[in-house]
Amino acid sequence: MTDMHEHRKARPVSVEERHARRAFRNAMSTGLKRTYDRVAQKNVPDEFIQLLRAADGKAKA
């Protein structure tokens, strides 16, 4: 089976379009990093830690 993308011809992309795409990727990346940095700073609930320890104990047994 061949990949569908193999048959697609690349069209020339203008410098402006490349800059716009790069700006969009950078903005998305910055927004995602900011969001997940806030999530990473939160404390993990004790119940979740207990669940992980129980699962780890079962995996070792």
Task: Give the tens place of pLDDT for each residue, 2-43.
Answer: 555 566 677 888 999 999 999 999 999 999 999 999 888 999
Q: State the Cα–Cα distance between residues 49 and 54, nearest whole angstrom.
A: 9
pLDDT value for 7: 62
pLDDT at residue 3, as a whole number: 58
What are the domain boundaries of the chain? 18-60
| HSE-CB for 18 with a 13 A CA cutoff | 5
**Model confidence at 50: pLDDT above 90:** yes
| Start-to-end Cα distance in the chain | 43
Q: What is the pLDDT of residue 4?
A: 59
CA torsion through residues 34, 38, 41, 47, sign: negative
Q: What is the pTM of this model?
A: 0.48
